[in-house]
Amino acid sequence: MTDSLPPSLIISWVVLFGFVNTHQRHARSFRGASQGYLFALQASVLLGSLVGLGLLGYYFTQVAWYWPLVLFVVGSLVGGLLFGFLDVKIGQLGMSMFAFIGWPASAVWAFLIIRGLHP
């Protein structure tokens, strides 16, 4: 299992999904005056979701078909719960601002991990 689903990939996916999910929650409950910021949140959710799906597709080509499903379920549950908790503790605005850098960085990290796997 460690060869096909390394812990570092789980962590990077949790961070990626958690930050994209933070932007999704923030956009859904947005009450600010800046429509530009709302658009940036929505664009980030769209782009982050597409990147995440692309990474899952790439991962699918590198390992057995079921590992991307396991990664999606485990990472999404843990990422959603953990980052929902962090939104409450740190504040949604602070988490949202950090997410603009956090999810792209974790996506690059996940890509590098997947690229290093040997089929």
pLDDT digits (tens, 9 = 90+) for 6-32: 999 999 999 999 999 999 999 999 988
d(C-alpha 102, C-alpha 77), whole Å: 18
Query: Does residue 1 sit within a domain?
Result: no
24 closest CA partner among 42, 51, 47, 50: 42
Structure tokens given for 15: 């961070």
- Helical ranges in 29-119 per DSSP H: 35-62, 66-90, 92-115
Does residue 119 surpass a pLDDT of 60? no
- What total of structural domains would you count in the chain? 1
Query: Does residue 45 sit within a domain?
Result: yes
Query: Does residue 2 sit within a domain?
Result: no
Rounded to two decimals, the pTM is 0.90
Tell me, what's the pLDDT at 115?
Answer: 94
Domain membership of residue 62 as a residue range: 7-115
CB-based contact 104:15 (threshold 8 Å): no
Amino acid, single-letter form, for residue 48: G
Q: To the nearest 10°, report the CA torsion of 91, 97, 100, 103.
A: -20
Query: Does residue 109 sit within a domain?
Result: yes
Structure tokens given for 8: 């570092």
Tell me, what's the pLDDT at 32?
Answer: 84
CB-based contact 23:98 (threshold 8 Å): no
CB-based contact 114:1 (threshold 8 Å): no
Query: Does residue 70 sit within a domain?
Result: yes
Does residue 2 surpass a pLDDT of 80? no
d(C-alpha 43, C-alpha 72), whole Å: 21
Is the model more confident about 76 or about 3? 76
Query: Does residue 21 sit within a domain?
Result: yes
